[in-house]
Structure 1
Amino acid sequence: MNWSIEFSPFLPQSVLIGAGVLVALAVIGHLIRRQRGAFLRLLAGAFLLLALANPVLKQEEREPLRNIAVVVIDESSSQKIAGRPERTNAIRQELSERLQEIPNLDIRFVRAGPGGDAEREETRLFDALNRGMADVPAERLAGVFMVTDGQIHDVPREAAEVNFGAPVHAMLTGEEGEFDRHIKIHTAPRFGLVGSTQTAEIEVVQTGADDQPQTATLTVRREGEGPETLNVGVGQTIRLPFRFTRAGPTYMEVALAPVEGELTTANNRIVMKAEGVRENLRVLLVSGEPHAGERTWRNLLRSDASVDLVHFTILRPPEKQDGTPINQLSLIAFPTRELFSEKLDEFDLIIFDRYQRRGVLPLIYLDNVSRYVREGGAVLIAAGPDFASPLSLYRTPLSRIVPARPTGRIIERAFKPRVSDKGERHPVTADLPGANDADEPEWGRWFRTIDVQNAEGDVLMTGPDGTPLLVLARQGEGRVGMFLSDHAWLWARGYEGGGPYADILRRISHWLMKEPDLEEESLDVSAGRQSLTITRRSMSDSIGPVEVNAPDGEQRSVTLEQVDDGRWRANVTAETPGLYRVTSGDLAAVAHVGAVNSRELTEVTASREPLAPVLDETGGGAFWLGGAEEPAAAGLPRISMLSQSRKMHGDDWAGLRDRQAYMVTGVKYTPLYAGPLALALLLGLLALMWYREGR
């Protein structure tokens, strides 16, 4: 039973205060004038105000509540090295036994695993503590024990944020003076243009053991290059060139040679990842004459944000001479010399759309185009009736690179383009919507194709009677494509339901410009948290096993399973984090497993410093339990329950605060100044005051 006196006034508090002021002023006035009965007036006014304030005796029936101690177990990656898992389990068990011996105390264990995403793993103990205490009233919390190495990444910026009236103690699983080395990244590129070189800055950082050597050996591995060995000084900033050789993710791995006495080698390797970005692809589109499909090519290429298009249409060929003065023509002269001699190599693709030899381009310029292809350029011929005529591009120096010879026959009858057997494997035409889902493609008809013979390269689509419709070929270092119909615009206009014209035309263009995703012979590797997915694309009927090289040097052969025409795949377990290299013949690909430069493994030496503000604010202490001479549990501090103390720890003891919390189960109120007794007392004082002043 708990007793206390409270007031339950009959009038608002402001009214009572005003009345008290009036009584005080009246009494002061009497005292100044030296009138009789001033003291009795004061006493009568006080008793009247007391009656209006209505004092009551409050009696509470209380049920005591048990204190709660929370134990947070750090299970992050830095707690899995140097014997810390066994040490943590021993501390947890001994701590549980000692806390159970304290009367009126409940124990709650909270496990805190790795936090953050795959790219940035962190130790987030306070997030776990907040979740674990979601249903714990703050007035019952006696204290918090954190079993950790001290490397915590979510410590509140303001220590007052965790001042919940109970101490926080750190049970450190390491020992003072631990020695370790790791690589710190100062700057690293996030992206770069293909073909460019940027710079990354790193530093070898050493903690503890000043008597260790001040030099270190680094091994640098880049894609497509052999390892490079560097001898550097500890604490010295190293500048490394980061080369972008292809589009997409580009990796550079740096490994630090281990030294004796190092706490762990798990953080001796870093991987820098950046995206290789291509500059806008430059395309030159030359239309021989206006026709219905010309705008289809133009609109498609202009809608591609990665393409810079230069388009010319031959509206006034040389034979069209009518005597009109040049200064009265609105047409500009075709800049043949500038485009086909001076700046030819600046283009990634040249498209001849229904172009025929009419004297606009001298043969020497077309010879330049042939050389341009063999040295790595790309040409696409979108053929119409012009290609079958005596003025065909085949009758120029381009014949050395054109993969098919026209017969001179133009086939004009309705047909639906089909994807060939080889086209079902090739990434340019594979998976086209509505291709060969039924007896015939689910798209509209075309009505004209150009007959050719002796087709070289790959025939990916066919026309009537199986004649070649789309031919792609490699010529020297470059590539050539032929689209043997000028009716693709029918799909763009939606004729008979249309067709995937945008997909097919865009894929052709990008294959010619050597986009990696459209290579018919390719190897791709994607990484999960502890796995690799290997995908191999090939035009062959079968492929051999691929070789997987792990970061620790282990090599293994993996057989892929065919999942589709021209595609094979396998999922491989990858337990060791780091950079994996996969090879298949001349093809190679890399992927990184695990967190890239996990913050969790950057600092692994045990430390009190991250938690110091919280420990100091709450009165808790840090206890080093990582000595190798005796079991960790033997060094556990004595635990005491304290009621009132600012400092909650000593050299060999840790305190818990006895919160003395309770729950009220019943309340009884008894008036102290009410009823006849209060009335008689007040009337007696008024009568005495009247009598005294009346004399």
Structure 2
Amino acid sequence: MTQFNIAWSPLLPTLALVLLAIGAVLVVALGFWSGRKGTWLRALGLVLILFALADPSLVREDRQPLKDVVAVVLDRSASQTIGDRGAQTDKARAEIEKSLAALGNVETRVVEAGGDAAEADGTRLFSALSGALADVPPERIGGAFLVTDGVVHDIPAQADLLGFKAPLHALITGREGERDRRIELVEAPRFGLVGKDQTIAVRVLDTADRGEPIELVVRRDGAEISRTRARAGTLVRVNVRVDHGGPNVVELEVPALRDELTALNNKAVVVIEGVRDKLKVLLVSGEPHAGERTWRNLLKSDANVDLVHFTILRPPEKSGLDGTPISELSLIAFPTADLFGRKIRDFDLIIFDRYSNQTVLPPVYFENIVRYVREGGALLIAAGPDYSGRDGLFYSPLGKIAPARPSGDIIERAFRAHVTDIGNKHPVTRGLPGADQTPPAWSEWYRQVNAESLRGAAVMSGADDKPLLLLSREEKGRVGLMLSDQIWLWARNYQNGGPYLELLRRLAHWLMKEPELEEEALRATARGREISIERQSLKSEVAPVTVTSPSGNSQVVTLKGAEPGLSRAQVRVGELGLYKLTDGELTALVNVGAENPLEFREVVSTPDKLKSLVEATGGTVRRISSGSGDSISLPRFAAMRESPLYGGSNYVAIRRTGASVVTGIGVAPLAVGFLGLLALLGSVLAGWLWESRKRREA
């Protein structure tokens, strides 16, 4: 294709040319006004001079037409997997590509939007459209087609923000009259104090509300905790007790309808991170000794621990040895009635440090402690020589829950504590610094209570492989027993000490049921579409884990040993939502994707959201379903020059841009060289001949 045009390259500034042109017009006008002969020849000469000064050129351009670029954006978000929408999208793509190819001179760019990258932010089609056309000049864009269910979350506020002036057409999948029921989270706490209630506010929405009451089921960590009745559109507040530290997974679910699009959004998930306000610990030291300060310093160094510490300086059996009346002693009375009676349940942990049955506590209070443990409390006995005597705690009512029975003698010789085989699997003692050496890289101890294990697990042993640290469960509570009072040697860095801080903190936290220290636990975490499974167990073998998807599909995953007490596996999943994992004994829940993904908050297909933007570009929005199944019906495709409207009831059109690229160019000056000289000479000669003839005639 060849085009011709005139190009001007003035030899003088434009203002000078304008002034000269005005002067020439005045001269010619005066000549005609005065009736002078030959004025028209002078006018011709002046015009030719001005023409030469403007320096025009004839430009020839050889151009190659460029194809009109048309983008086709396919919505591949999760909501497009509902029903036949995916199949409709595939068919629409094939027909669009075929129709655009038939128009000729069209470059079709197909881009798929959605999937993993869009899960958190919803369906973002216009970001994908902008990326597909980023390298195309706006004047080459002939139009764009969106194949979507119409629920798009990045719609520009104005058509000007699209970055091009061409028609945008929206082809809507799905069908009219779709129905969906869903739960909308209005208020959802992220954190909560353990033992306290948190309020979750929800609203049940139904696109075809019939005024019927809807049952709302609430579960915590998979166990149902309440049911309530709600009506569509009404705000409902649900109180949930934060049961433990760490993640508390709360599910809110309403029953699915028979004609509903999907049941995935009938469930909302809230993960409340349980935090403890203050860990209240009661430490009772039976007498002053070297290790007493070790316990006190450890507990006082933790800002999250509220410590109550009593040391019995003058037991009742010694009150009369020096003759001093009790009323004259400046000692604080031991508030036994408060601590072991009315307020015992206020404590998260009770520690008896070298305490013997000194008649300070009557048997009824020991019975209270037994009851406190069995109902969920925690007890730690740090035993010294007192434990093996007849006044030891084992021979009080605490013997009912003590993990070991003393043999009556004390081992008093050098030994090194070491982690047992089962201790290598237990979270309290697994991986203690120095435990991987033989012997362990810890200082020696010199005293141990000889005892026989009765219950629980001996995670550390001492002299002659006798149990040194035992952990046991007692109904809902837990008991720990340390059969030596010389851990203070580690704290004093004797012979380079030992990991006393790590050990005692883990021990205290296990007793207070910190989730990460459970010896039998099934955990699951999600990153993207991949679920990481971890099984903590003291058993030699662990059962496979069944993973159940939100839609009810299941798969069995075999775990492999990673380190002592830990088995792991990873599995990639395809659905978004809450997954349930179980090995037949333990259950874990994990949410894949956002807790309540934006993608599933609205799943009913609609042309309304895109209508105003599409019509502002001159395009059209229409449904493509032609009836049952995945059959579709697309309008006729056409190409048009610039127009305010690019579609009608039975057709859609793209804009013909007329864009081209120059492949060759030629320039021919019109006012310089031979032609310009010939024109000027001709005009001068004509004027001279004319005036000469007039003189002869005169």
Range of TM-score over shorter length: 0.7 to 0.9
Q: How many angstroms apart in 1 are the aligned matches of 2:482 and 2:678? A: 114
Give the C-alpha shift of residue 601 in structure 1. Answer: 2.7
SS at match of 1:256: coil
CA contact (8 A) 1:204 1:216 kept: no
CA change 1:415–1:150 in 2 (3 A) is same
Cα shift readout 1:348-393 (whole Å, capped 9, x = no counterpart): 1122344567787777766654554344322223344565688765
CA change 1:388–1:594 in 2 (3 A) is same
Cα shift readout 1:260-289 (whole Å, capped 9, x = no counterpart): 4x4444544443443333333212334556
CA contact (8 A) 1:404 1:452 kept: no
Which AA in structure 2 matches 1:215? E
CA contact (8 A) 1:348 1:513 kept: yes
Q: How many angstroms apart in 1 are the aligned matches of 2:452 and 2:151? A: 70
Identify which of 217, 220, 228 aligns with 2:217.
Answer: 220
Cα shift readout 1:191-247 (whole Å, capped 9, x = no counterpart): 33333333333334333xx6x744264462514645977665443444444343333
Give the C-alpha shift of residue 649 in structure 1. Answer: 1.8
Q: How many angstroms apart in 2 are the aligned matches of 1:322 and 1:668? A: 128
Partner of 1:297: 295
Partner of 1:659: 657
Q: How many angstroms apart in 1 are the aligned matches of 2:227 and 2:365? A: 49
CA contact (8 A) 1:163 1:617 kept: no
Give the C-alpha shift of residue 165 in structure 1. Answer: 1.4
Identify which of 450, 460, 464 aligns with 1:452.
Answer: 450
SS at match of 1:123: coil
Partner of 2:171: 171
Partner of 1:162: 162
Partner of 1:485: 484
Partner of 1:131: 131
Partner of 1:601: 600
Partner of 2:111: 110
CA change 1:220–1:342 in 2 (3 A) is closer
Partner of 1:691: none
Select between 662-671 and 94-103 the one with higher mean Cα deviation.
Answer: 662-671
Give the C-alpha shift of residue 615 in structure 1. Answer: 0.8
Cα shift readout 1:478-501 (whole Å, capped 9, x = no counterpart): 332222334434444555554433
Q: How many angstroms apart in 1 are the aligned matches of 2:360 and 2:45? A: 122
CA contact (8 A) 2:445 2:486 kept: yes
Task: Show the 5 A alignment for 1:255-654.
Answer: 255-260=254-259, 262-287=260-285, 293-304=291-302, 306-312=304-310, 338-355=338-355, 369-384=369-384, 398-399=398-399, 401-406=401-406, 409-435=409-435, 437-441=436-440, 443-457=441-455, 458-475=457-474, 477-492=476-491, 496=495, 498-526=497-525, 535-541=534-540, 565-567=564-566, 579-582=578-581, 587-592=586-591, 596-628=595-627, 632-633=631-632, 635-654=633-652
Q: How many angstroms apart in 2 are the aligned matches of 1:639 and 1:285? A: 84
Give the C-alpha shift of residue 397 in structure 1. Answer: 5.8
CA contact (8 A) 1:57 1:669 kept: yes
Cα shift readout 1:32-58 (whole Å, capped 9, x = no counterpart): xxxx9xxxxxx9999999988866655
Partner of 1:32: none
Partner of 1:692: none
Task: Show the 5 A alignment for 1:2-151.
Answer: 2-5=3-6, 58-116=59-117, 120=120, 122-151=122-151
CA contact (8 A) 1:373 1:478 kept: yes
Select between 454-463 and 43-52 the one with higher mean Cα deviation.
Answer: 43-52
Which AA in structure 2 matches 1:620? G
Which AA in structure 2 matches 1:77? A
Q: How many angstroms apart in 1 are the aligned matches of 2:648 and 2:449? A: 95
Which AA in structure 1 matches 2:212? T
Partner of 1:693: none
SS at match of 1:614: helix
Which AA in structure 1 matches 2:465? G
Q: How many angstroms apart in 2 are the aligned matches of 1:667 and 1:679? A: 26
RMSD: 4.8
Q: How many angstroms apart in 2 are the aligned matches of 1:324 and 1:578? A: 71
Partner of 1:189: 189
Which AA in structure 2 matches 1:109? V
SS at match of 2:131: helix
SS at match of 2:160: helix
Cα shift readout 1:533-580 (whole Å, capped 9, x = no counterpart): 654444444566767666566788877666555455566786666545
Q: How many angstroms apart in 1 are the aligned matches of 2:21 and 2:294? A: 99
Cα shift readout 1:603-648 (whole Å, capped 9, x = no counterpart): 2222122222421332111122112079855x32222222221222
Which AA in structure 2 matches 1:601? F
Select between 559-568 and 610-619 the one with higher mean Cα deviation.
Answer: 559-568
CA contact (8 A) 1:70 1:109 kept: yes
Which AA in structure 1 matches 2:169? H
Q: How many angstroms apart in 2 are the aligned matches of 1:69 and 1:78? A: 25
Which AA in structure 2 matches 1:505? L
CA contact (8 A) 2:184 2:205 kept: yes
Q: How many angstroms apart in 2 are the aligned matches of 1:275 and 1:44? A: 95
Q: How many angstroms apart in 1 are the aligned matches of 2:157 and 2:496? A: 63
CA contact (8 A) 1:163 1:618 kept: no
CA contact (8 A) 1:3 1:57 kept: yes
SS at match of 1:86: helix
SS at match of 2:453: coil
CA change 1:409–1:660 in 2 (3 A) is same
Q: Count matched residues.
A: 662
Q: How many angstroms apart in 2 are the aligned matches of 1:174 and 1:373? A: 59
Q: How many angstroms apart in 2 are the aligned matches of 1:668 and 1:106? A: 30
Task: Show the 5 A alignment for 1:223-262.
Answer: 223=220, 225-226=223-224, 232-247=230-245, 248-260=247-259, 262=260
CA change 1:466–1:172 in 2 (3 A) is same
Cα shift readout 1:57-97 (whole Å, capped 9, x = no counterpart): 55544332111111111122222223222222222212111
Which AA in structure 2 matches 1:71? V
CA contact (8 A) 2:403 2:479 kept: yes
Give the C-alpha shift of residue 475 in structure 1. Answer: 4.3
Give the C-alpha shift of residue 123 in structure 1. Answer: 1.6
Q: How many angstroms apart in 1 are the aligned matches of 2:181 and 2:383? A: 65
Select between 485-494 and 600-609 the one with higher mean Cα deviation.
Answer: 485-494
SS at match of 1:142: strand
Q: How many angstroms apart in 2 are the aligned matches of 1:672 and 1:571? A: 79
Q: How many angstroms apart in 2 are the aligned matches of 1:401 and 1:645? A: 89
SS at match of 1:508: helix
Give the C-alpha shift of residue 307 in structure 1. Answer: 2.9
Q: What stretches of structure 1 of length at least 5 have no aligned partner?
A: 29-35, 37-42, 689-695
CA change 1:316–1:659 in 2 (3 A) is farther
Q: How many angstroms apart in 1 are the aligned matches of 2:134 and 2:445? A: 72
CA change 1:575–1:104 in 2 (3 A) is closer
Partner of 2:39: none
Give the C-alpha shift of residue 515 in structure 1. Answer: 2.1
CA change 1:68–1:543 in 2 (3 A) is closer
CA change 1:344–1:528 in 2 (3 A) is same
